[in-house]
Structure 1
Amino acid sequence: MAADRLKTYREKRDFTKTAEPSGAASRGGSGRRYLIQKHSATRLHFDFRLELHGVLLSWAVTRGPSYDPHDKRLAVRTEDHPLEYGDFEGTIPKGEYGGGTVMLWDEGTWEPDGDAEAGLAKGDFKFILHGERLKGKWVLVRMRQRPGERSKRENLLLIKERDQYAED
Protein backbone atom coordinates (compact mmCIF):
# COMPACT_ATOMS: atom_id res chain seq x y z
CA MET A 1 0.00 0.00 0.00
CA ALA A 2 2.80 2.47 0.87
CA ALA A 3 4.36 1.86 -2.56
CA ASP A 4 1.17 3.05 -4.28
CA ARG A 5 1.07 6.13 -2.06
CA LEU A 6 4.59 7.05 -3.19
CA LYS A 7 3.85 7.01 -6.94
CA THR A 8 3.54 10.82 -7.22
CA TYR A 9 6.63 11.31 -5.04
CA ARG A 10 8.73 9.10 -7.32
CA GLU A 11 7.37 10.62 -10.54
CA LYS A 12 8.54 14.10 -9.48
CA ARG A 13 12.16 13.09 -8.82
CA ASP A 14 15.19 11.90 -10.75
CA PHE A 15 17.00 9.71 -8.24
CA THR A 16 20.15 9.68 -10.39
CA LYS A 17 20.47 13.42 -9.62
CA THR A 18 19.15 13.78 -6.08
CA ALA A 19 20.22 12.13 -2.82
CA GLU A 20 16.62 12.04 -1.61
CA PRO A 21 15.47 8.54 -0.64
CA SER A 22 13.39 6.73 -3.27
CA GLY A 23 11.41 4.81 -0.69
CA ALA A 24 12.42 1.53 -2.33
CA ALA A 25 13.70 0.16 0.97
CA SER A 26 10.61 0.05 3.10
CA ARG A 27 11.46 0.25 6.74
CA GLY A 28 9.06 -0.19 9.56
CA GLY A 29 8.30 2.91 11.52
CA SER A 30 6.94 3.60 14.95
CA GLY A 31 3.65 4.43 13.29
CA ARG A 32 3.50 7.89 14.84
CA ARG A 33 6.67 9.76 13.89
CA TYR A 34 6.40 13.52 13.50
CA LEU A 35 8.94 15.92 12.02
CA ILE A 36 9.41 19.32 10.46
CA GLN A 37 12.12 20.01 7.92
CA LYS A 38 13.17 23.58 7.15
CA HIS A 39 13.31 23.74 3.36
CA SER A 40 15.10 26.60 1.66
CA ALA A 41 13.76 26.08 -1.87
CA THR A 42 12.33 28.68 -4.27
CA ARG A 43 10.71 30.08 -1.13
CA LEU A 44 11.65 29.25 2.44
CA HIS A 45 9.00 27.04 4.04
CA PHE A 46 8.67 24.26 6.58
CA ASP A 47 7.73 20.72 5.53
CA PHE A 48 5.40 19.33 8.19
CA ARG A 49 5.23 15.52 8.20
CA LEU A 50 3.20 12.94 10.13
CA GLU A 51 3.68 9.19 9.80
CA LEU A 52 0.50 7.33 8.88
CA HIS A 53 -0.17 4.21 6.75
CA GLY A 54 3.54 3.54 6.19
CA VAL A 55 4.31 6.96 4.67
CA LEU A 56 4.88 10.53 5.81
CA LEU A 57 1.82 12.67 5.11
CA SER A 58 3.23 16.05 4.11
CA TRP A 59 2.28 19.73 4.07
CA ALA A 60 4.37 22.77 3.09
CA VAL A 61 3.82 25.41 5.80
CA THR A 62 4.62 29.03 5.02
CA ARG A 63 6.46 31.03 7.67
CA GLY A 64 6.62 28.01 9.98
CA PRO A 65 4.35 27.01 12.84
CA SER A 66 3.26 29.46 15.55
CA TYR A 67 2.40 28.85 19.21
CA ASP A 68 -0.14 31.71 19.03
CA PRO A 69 -3.67 30.30 18.47
CA HIS A 70 -4.55 33.54 16.63
CA ASP A 71 -1.95 32.79 13.93
CA LYS A 72 -3.17 30.66 11.06
CA ARG A 73 -0.41 29.27 8.88
CA LEU A 74 -1.11 28.18 5.31
CA ALA A 75 -0.33 24.45 4.96
CA VAL A 76 -0.40 23.19 1.37
CA ARG A 77 -0.83 19.42 1.07
CA THR A 78 2.03 17.85 -0.86
CA GLU A 79 2.66 14.30 -1.97
CA ASP A 80 3.24 11.55 0.58
CA HIS A 81 6.93 10.94 1.29
CA PRO A 82 8.71 7.67 2.22
CA LEU A 83 9.49 7.09 5.89
CA GLU A 84 13.21 7.32 5.06
CA TYR A 85 12.71 10.98 4.15
CA GLY A 86 12.47 11.70 7.86
CA ASP A 87 16.21 11.07 8.09
CA PHE A 88 17.08 13.15 5.01
CA GLU A 89 19.08 16.33 5.34
CA GLY A 90 21.07 17.87 2.54
CA THR A 91 20.84 19.79 -0.69
CA ILE A 92 18.50 18.92 -3.53
CA PRO A 93 20.23 20.05 -6.74
CA LYS A 94 19.06 23.26 -8.40
CA GLY A 95 16.70 22.47 -11.25
CA GLU A 96 15.34 19.38 -9.51
CA TYR A 97 11.91 19.31 -7.88
CA GLY A 98 12.21 21.07 -4.51
CA GLY A 99 15.77 22.20 -5.23
CA GLY A 100 17.42 23.72 -2.17
CA THR A 101 18.61 22.86 1.32
CA VAL A 102 16.62 20.60 3.65
CA MET A 103 17.41 20.42 7.37
CA LEU A 104 15.65 18.85 10.32
CA TRP A 105 13.94 21.54 12.43
CA ASP A 106 11.91 19.43 14.89
CA GLU A 107 11.02 15.81 15.50
CA GLY A 108 9.15 13.60 17.89
CA THR A 109 5.92 11.65 17.92
CA TRP A 110 2.27 12.50 17.44
CA GLU A 111 -1.07 11.08 18.44
CA PRO A 112 -4.52 11.70 17.01
CA ASP A 113 -6.96 13.79 19.04
CA GLY A 114 -10.03 11.87 17.92
CA ASP A 115 -10.40 9.77 14.78
CA ALA A 116 -7.48 10.62 12.45
CA GLU A 117 -9.13 9.17 9.32
CA ALA A 118 -12.40 11.02 9.90
CA GLY A 119 -10.56 14.25 10.70
CA LEU A 120 -8.46 14.07 7.54
CA ALA A 121 -11.51 13.32 5.39
CA LYS A 122 -13.57 16.09 6.98
CA GLY A 123 -10.76 18.64 6.84
CA ASP A 124 -10.68 19.14 10.60
CA PHE A 125 -7.71 17.00 11.66
CA LYS A 126 -6.77 17.36 15.34
CA PHE A 127 -3.61 15.91 16.81
CA ILE A 128 -1.14 16.20 19.69
CA LEU A 129 2.57 16.73 19.07
CA HIS A 130 5.36 15.51 21.35
CA GLY A 131 8.33 17.19 19.68
CA GLU A 132 11.48 18.87 20.88
CA ARG A 133 10.18 22.30 19.79
CA LEU A 134 6.46 21.79 19.19
CA LYS A 135 4.22 20.31 21.83
CA GLY A 136 0.54 20.08 22.57
CA LYS A 137 -2.68 20.25 20.57
CA TRP A 138 -2.79 21.37 16.94
CA VAL A 139 -5.32 21.25 14.12
CA LEU A 140 -5.19 21.27 10.32
CA VAL A 141 -8.37 22.86 8.94
CA ARG A 142 -9.21 22.65 5.23
CA MET A 143 -9.87 26.01 3.63
CA ARG A 144 -13.03 26.44 1.60
CA GLN A 145 -12.67 27.29 -2.05
CA ARG A 146 -14.31 30.40 -3.36
CA PRO A 147 -17.36 29.81 -5.58
CA GLY A 148 -16.19 28.90 -9.08
CA GLU A 149 -12.59 28.44 -7.97
CA ARG A 150 -10.83 25.19 -8.82
CA SER A 151 -7.56 24.38 -7.16
CA LYS A 152 -5.18 21.52 -7.82
CA ARG A 153 -3.83 21.95 -4.30
CA GLU A 154 -5.47 21.18 -0.99
CA ASN A 155 -4.98 24.24 1.18
CA LEU A 156 -5.30 23.96 4.93
CA LEU A 157 -4.50 26.11 7.93
CA LEU A 158 -2.17 24.87 10.68
CA ILE A 159 -3.41 26.30 13.96
CA LYS A 160 -2.18 25.88 17.55
CA GLU A 161 -5.06 24.97 19.83
CA ARG A 162 -5.34 26.53 23.27
CA ASP A 163 -3.55 24.43 25.88
CA GLN A 164 -0.71 24.83 28.39
CA TYR A 165 1.80 25.28 25.52
CA ALA A 166 -0.09 28.02 23.64
CA GLU A 167 1.30 31.56 23.67
CA ASP A 168 -1.40 34.24 23.34
Structure 2
Amino acid sequence: MTDPRFVIQHHLATADHYDVRFEIDGVLVSWAVPKGPSTDPRIRRLAKRTGDHALDYAGYEGVLGPRRGGGTVQVWDHGTFRNISEHDGRPVPAGEALAAGHLSVDVDGEKITGGYSLIRTRGENMWLLVKRRGRGADARRDPVATHPESVLTGRTLDEIAAQG
Protein backbone atom coordinates (compact mmCIF):
# COMPACT_ATOMS: atom_id res chain seq x y z
CA MET A 1 0.00 0.00 0.00
CA THR A 2 1.30 3.46 -0.86
CA ASP A 3 1.19 6.44 1.46
CA PRO A 4 -1.78 8.79 0.99
CA ARG A 5 -1.33 12.04 -0.92
CA PHE A 6 -1.26 15.64 0.15
CA VAL A 7 -1.43 18.73 -2.03
CA ILE A 8 -1.11 22.44 -1.37
CA GLN A 9 -2.83 24.59 -3.98
CA HIS A 10 -2.21 28.33 -4.12
CA HIS A 11 -5.63 29.82 -4.82
CA LEU A 12 -6.04 33.44 -5.83
CA ALA A 13 -9.77 34.08 -5.48
CA THR A 14 -11.59 36.74 -3.48
CA ALA A 15 -8.80 36.27 -0.96
CA ASP A 16 -5.32 34.94 -1.69
CA HIS A 17 -4.74 31.69 0.24
CA TYR A 18 -3.25 28.20 0.14
CA ASP A 19 -5.55 25.17 0.21
CA VAL A 20 -3.86 22.44 2.27
CA ARG A 21 -5.40 19.03 1.48
CA PHE A 22 -4.80 15.54 2.87
CA GLU A 23 -6.18 12.28 1.46
CA ILE A 24 -8.20 10.81 4.32
CA ASP A 25 -10.97 8.22 4.04
CA GLY A 26 -11.32 8.59 0.27
CA VAL A 27 -11.50 12.39 0.00
CA LEU A 28 -9.20 15.40 0.16
CA VAL A 29 -9.81 16.92 3.60
CA SER A 30 -9.10 20.64 3.18
CA TRP A 31 -8.12 23.83 4.99
CA ALA A 32 -7.66 27.36 3.61
CA VAL A 33 -4.42 28.83 5.02
CA PRO A 34 -4.17 32.57 4.21
CA LYS A 35 -0.39 32.88 4.61
CA GLY A 36 0.54 29.38 3.47
CA PRO A 37 2.61 26.84 5.39
CA SER A 38 5.65 27.87 7.42
CA THR A 39 8.82 25.90 8.07
CA ASP A 40 9.33 27.72 11.40
CA PRO A 41 7.93 25.74 14.38
CA ARG A 42 7.37 29.00 16.30
CA ILE A 43 4.82 30.25 13.75
CA ARG A 44 1.18 29.21 13.94
CA ARG A 45 -0.87 29.72 10.80
CA LEU A 46 -4.63 30.21 10.81
CA ALA A 47 -6.28 27.35 8.90
CA LYS A 48 -9.99 27.45 8.11
CA ARG A 49 -11.54 24.04 7.46
CA THR A 50 -13.34 23.98 4.11
CA GLY A 51 -15.36 21.36 2.26
CA ASP A 52 -13.84 18.05 1.29
CA HIS A 53 -12.82 17.62 -2.35
CA ALA A 54 -12.70 14.62 -4.68
CA LEU A 55 -9.29 12.94 -4.97
CA ASP A 56 -8.90 13.89 -8.64
CA TYR A 57 -8.85 17.57 -7.65
CA ALA A 58 -5.33 17.07 -6.26
CA GLY A 59 -3.84 17.66 -9.73
CA TYR A 60 -6.04 20.58 -10.76
CA GLU A 61 -4.31 23.71 -11.98
CA GLY A 62 -6.07 26.44 -13.95
CA VAL A 63 -8.77 29.10 -13.77
CA LEU A 64 -12.02 28.28 -11.98
CA GLY A 65 -15.37 29.71 -12.99
CA PRO A 66 -17.49 31.56 -10.43
CA ARG A 67 -19.64 28.47 -9.73
CA ARG A 68 -16.59 26.62 -8.38
CA GLY A 69 -15.25 29.45 -6.21
CA GLY A 70 -13.53 31.43 -8.95
CA GLY A 71 -9.95 32.48 -9.28
CA THR A 72 -6.68 30.93 -10.31
CA VAL A 73 -5.42 27.65 -8.82
CA GLN A 74 -1.82 26.43 -8.83
CA VAL A 75 -0.38 23.18 -7.48
CA TRP A 76 2.19 24.79 -5.19
CA ASP A 77 3.39 21.54 -3.57
CA HIS A 78 2.43 17.88 -3.48
CA GLY A 79 3.65 14.52 -2.28
CA THR A 80 2.72 11.88 0.24
CA PHE A 81 2.21 11.89 3.98
CA ARG A 82 2.09 9.55 6.93
CA ASN A 83 -0.40 9.99 9.73
CA ILE A 84 1.58 10.29 12.99
CA SER A 85 -1.36 11.17 15.23
CA GLU A 86 -1.40 9.49 18.61
CA HIS A 87 -3.19 9.63 21.95
CA ASP A 88 -1.61 8.36 25.17
CA GLY A 89 1.26 6.93 23.12
CA ARG A 90 -1.03 4.89 20.83
CA PRO A 91 -1.54 5.52 17.10
CA VAL A 92 -4.85 7.15 16.17
CA PRO A 93 -6.35 6.70 12.66
CA ALA A 94 -6.39 9.96 10.68
CA GLY A 95 -10.19 10.14 10.55
CA GLU A 96 -10.42 9.80 14.33
CA ALA A 97 -7.66 12.36 14.89
CA LEU A 98 -9.50 14.75 12.60
CA ALA A 99 -12.75 14.26 14.52
CA ALA A 100 -10.89 14.81 17.81
CA GLY A 101 -9.44 18.09 16.51
CA HIS A 102 -5.74 17.22 16.42
CA LEU A 103 -4.21 15.70 13.28
CA SER A 104 -0.44 15.20 13.04
CA VAL A 105 1.25 14.22 9.80
CA ASP A 106 4.73 13.76 8.36
CA VAL A 107 4.84 15.11 4.79
CA ASP A 108 7.22 14.34 1.94
CA GLY A 109 6.71 17.15 -0.54
CA GLU A 110 8.91 18.94 -3.02
CA LYS A 111 8.89 22.24 -1.08
CA ILE A 112 8.02 21.21 2.47
CA THR A 113 8.91 18.11 4.48
CA GLY A 114 8.58 16.82 8.01
CA GLY A 115 5.98 17.00 10.71
CA TYR A 116 2.98 19.32 10.80
CA SER A 117 0.01 19.43 13.16
CA LEU A 118 -3.48 20.79 12.56
CA ILE A 119 -5.16 21.76 15.82
CA ARG A 120 -8.80 22.83 16.09
CA THR A 121 -9.12 26.00 18.16
CA ARG A 122 -12.74 27.15 18.25
CA GLY A 123 -15.83 25.84 16.54
CA GLU A 124 -15.58 23.21 13.82
CA ASN A 125 -13.84 25.34 11.21
CA MET A 126 -11.04 27.27 12.94
CA TRP A 127 -7.72 25.45 13.19
CA LEU A 128 -4.00 26.21 13.46
CA LEU A 129 -1.34 24.74 11.17
CA VAL A 130 1.94 24.31 13.07
CA LYS A 131 5.30 23.00 11.84
CA ARG A 132 6.73 20.41 14.21
CA ARG A 133 10.38 20.50 15.26
CA GLY A 134 12.78 18.17 13.47
CA ARG A 135 13.04 17.27 9.79
CA GLY A 136 12.28 20.19 7.50
CA ALA A 137 12.07 22.77 10.30
CA ASP A 138 13.98 25.95 9.45
CA ALA A 139 13.18 29.38 10.89
CA ARG A 140 15.26 31.09 8.17
CA ARG A 141 13.44 29.50 5.23
CA ASP A 142 10.22 30.91 3.70
CA PRO A 143 9.22 28.66 0.77
CA VAL A 144 5.99 30.60 0.16
CA ALA A 145 8.06 33.70 -0.70
CA THR A 146 11.06 32.05 -2.35
CA HIS A 147 9.36 29.30 -4.39
CA PRO A 148 6.16 30.72 -5.91
CA GLU A 149 6.12 28.42 -8.96
CA SER A 150 3.97 25.34 -9.62
CA VAL A 151 5.53 21.96 -8.89
CA LEU A 152 3.64 20.56 -11.91
CA THR A 153 4.37 23.12 -14.61
CA GLY A 154 6.83 25.67 -13.20
CA ARG A 155 4.30 28.45 -13.90
CA THR A 156 3.45 31.32 -11.58
CA LEU A 157 -0.15 32.23 -10.71
CA ASP A 158 0.02 35.13 -13.20
CA GLU A 159 1.17 32.80 -15.98
CA ILE A 160 -1.62 30.32 -15.21
CA ALA A 161 -4.21 33.12 -15.23
CA ALA A 162 -2.91 34.48 -18.56
CA GLN A 163 -2.93 31.05 -20.21
CA GLY A 164 -6.32 30.06 -18.81
TM-score normalised to the size of structure 2?
Answer: 0.75
Partner of 1:60: 32
Counterpart residue type for residue 110 of structure 1: F
Structure 2 alignment gaps of length 5 or more: 86-91, 140-164
- Structure 1 residue 31: deviation in Å? 5.8
1:123 aligns with 2:95: no
Partner of 1:132: 110
Deviations 1:64-85 (A, max 9, x none): 0001111111111111100110
**In structure 1, the residue corresponding to 2:122 is in which secondary structure?**
coil
Alpha-carbon distance in structure 2 between the residues aligned to 1:100 and 1:134 = 24
In the alignment, is the contact (CA less than 8 A) between 2:3 and 2:81 conserved in 1?
Answer: no
**In structure 2, the residue corresponding to 1:164 is in which secondary structure?**
coil
The number of aligned residues is 132
Alpha-carbon distance in structure 1 between the residues aligned to 2:29 and 2:63 = 21
Identity %: 43
Deviations 1:21-69 (A, max 9, x none): xxxxxxxx95601110100000110011111111111111111000111
Alpha-carbon distance in structure 2 between the residues aligned to 1:136 and 1:42 = 31
Deviations 1:120-165 (A, max 9, x none): 12211111001111100100000135xxxxxxx6110000011132
Report the RMSD for the aligned CA atoms in angstroms: 1.7
TM-score normalised to the size of structure 1?
Answer: 0.73
1:39 aligns with 2:39: no
- Where is the strand percentage greater, Structure 1 or Structure 2? 2
